[in-house]
Amino acid sequence: MADRTVVTVDRRARIALVRADVSPLQARAANLSAVTAALEEAAIPYFCVRGVSNRSSVVAVDAEDREQVLAALAAACARLPGYVSQSTGSGADSPGTSTPGFEPQAWRRLRDGPVLRLTWYWTDPRRRLVLGLPFGCDVEFWTRQEDSLVAPRRNLVAERLPAGAPTVQATEACFTALAPPTAHTTVRTRPEFAIRRPDDVTFPVDVVYTWVDGTDPEWLRRRAEVAGTPYHAESASAARFLSRDELRYSLRSLHTYAPWVRTVHLVTDDQVPAWLDPSAPGLRVVSHREIFRDPSLLPTFNSHAIESQLHHIEGLSEHFLYFNDDVFLGCEVTPKDFFLANGITKFFPSPALVPPGSPSADDIPASAAGKNNRRLIAQRFGTVLTQKMKHMPHALRRSVLYEIEETFPTEHHGTAGNRFRSVADISIASSLHHYYAFHTGRAVAGELEYAIAELSHPDTPARLAHLLARRDRHVFCLNDAFSTEEDLAAQLSILTPFLDTYFPVASPWEKG
């Protein structure tokens, strides 16, 4: 029997089932399984439907079997405490208040509803993450009209099907974009739903992180031995190299909210966090030495230089997301949030502007690089870029990055050779790729719910509390440009509890 606990959801007490590996995809699958198991035990025919939500699942039954269906579902809710509500419209993620399905009166109130949502609440052992109604399973009562079954609401494929037609098994990925394209789990459905639509992203998507341990004595020694210094105070700031365990929690966010990612590539200067298992499936630790074609350019302490070489990672997918370790997924995302099914990438312009004029030593590195990007885009395409990009996962294509390397060889090699950030750098992965791909028909502007918190700002605790309470940002960034080592202890006292509460479930890439 599953462990149970009581949680509070929308100011109501709910009985939740406990799993150490709880996640949105797991909750969705478990709720669907509970419903289908109940129907199979009662020998009631059903088939899965491709609904409009990636979070919730949909099961269709014949409305003539209503009494048997309600009895089977009530029994399932009694075995493991489940909840029932009436689902309206086209399948919203939050259909309304749920009532205990283990209490008979709930079924009397809802017995005539055309669509019912069955929800088992799920949480982690510390009750930090609670997954409920949005991940429930909708049971649709399809009505008979002559020789057809007609859906009570729209779906993405078919609203009328032949009655009594045979069912087939289809992969979970046909019904939710949260599932990996290679998912082995199958469900019972009709052949009409066992398809891939033209807008489904089916190509593999990898993730690349760049990471540095700025407290490592060997790394500090190598940095001290390199001639030259950063040109701007922001480049030299200790904040750029301080570790608050952000990578651990960013990986947790990725595992929880983007389970469709194929492989994570962690690019480092031969460093590995003590808590990371580099042999874990789905993870590759990549040395700078593996991706820099010119080894004389190493060691480097310039993120622009490292980012210029990412497309050289062996085995990297054509389409990938580039993360910094201060970027986190705040809720579920799908490949469609970053790519179109035809391979076009999405980028996310910021309201922050690239200052006019030529690069100067007074520019922060992002502005200087933006000005250099602007010159290249203007020369090549005749337009003048004015916007920076949000600090988000960057959707990139290897082929575009190779093309940029060939198109701007002087600037590309120059950036790769600058061991510290330079006023002459271009920012390829975070900006130039997006503008170049847009002008060549391979990128479009996208939109996701986003937030950024500057750790050195006094309102940071309030902003973090707001993020945790709402959990409605697809992406958030915990940025830091000017903190010192003396600030670290105070920041950790705020940041660690926030991250540990938001992302309580360990990723499979963490040691024991």
SS (H, E, C) 273-293: CCCECCCCCCEEEEEHHHHCC
481 by DSSP, 3-state: which? coil
Cα 123 to chain centroid distance, Å, stands at 19
Neighbours of 82 (CB within 10 A): 26
pLDDT, residue 457, reads: 84
Cα distances (Å, whole numbers) of residue 201 to 181, 256, 279: 8, 19, 28
Please tell me the pTM assigned to this model: 0.94
Contact 406, 488 (CB under 8 A): no
In tens digits, the chain (512 residues) has pLDDT values of 569 999 999 899 999 999 999 999 999 999 999 999 999 999 999 999 999 999 999 999 999 999 999 999 999 999 999 999 998 766 555 567 899 999 999 999 898 999 999 999 999 999 999 999 999 999 999 999 999 999 999 999 999 999 989 999 999 999 999 999 888 899 999 999 999 999 999 999 999 999 999 889 999 999 999 877 666 665 555 545 566 789 999 999 999 999 999 999 999 999 999 999 999 999 999 999 999 999 999 999 999 999 999 999 999 999 999 999 999 999 999 999 999 999 999 999 999 999 999 999 999 999 999 999 999 999 999 999 999 999 999 999 999 999 999 999 999 999 999 999 999 999 999 999 999 999 999 999 999 999 999 888 889 999 999 999 999 999 999 987 655 666 666 777 889 999 999 999 999 999 98
Instruction: Quote the strand ranges of 274-343, DSSP E.
Output: 283-287, 319-324, 327-329
493: left (phi over 0), alpha (psi -120 to 50) or beta: alpha
Q: Residue 271's beta-bridge partner residues?
A: none
Instruction: Report angle CA 461, 465, 468 to the nearest 5 degrees.
Output: 140
Residues 6 or more apart from 218 whose CB is under 8 A from it? Answer: none
In angstroms, rounded to a whole number, what is the distance separating the alpha carbons of residues 311 and 220?
27
466 by DSSP, 3-state: which? helix
Q: Residue 389's beta-bridge partner residues?
A: 349
Cα distances (Å, whole numbers) of residue 249 to 243, 245, 338, 430, 477: 12, 7, 21, 21, 12
In angstroms, rounded to a whole number, what is the distance separating the alpha carbons of residues 12 and 1?
24
In angstroms, rounded to a whole number, what is the distance separating the alpha carbons of residues 499 and 478?
11
Contact 511, 277 (CB under 8 A): yes
pLDDT, residue 109, reads: 87
pLDDT, residue 219, reads: 93
In angstroms, rounded to a whole number, what is the distance separating the alpha carbons of residues 155 and 197?
13
Residues 6 or more apart from 490 whose CB is under 8 A from it? Answer: none
Phi and psi, residue 510, nearest 5°: -95, 145
pLDDT, residue 290, reads: 98
In angstroms, rounded to a whole number, what is the distance separating the alpha carbons of residues 106 and 98?
9
What sign does the CA torsion over 401, 406, 410, 416 have? positive
In the chain, the amino acid numbered 366 is A
The pair of structure tokens assigned to 378 is: 């203007």
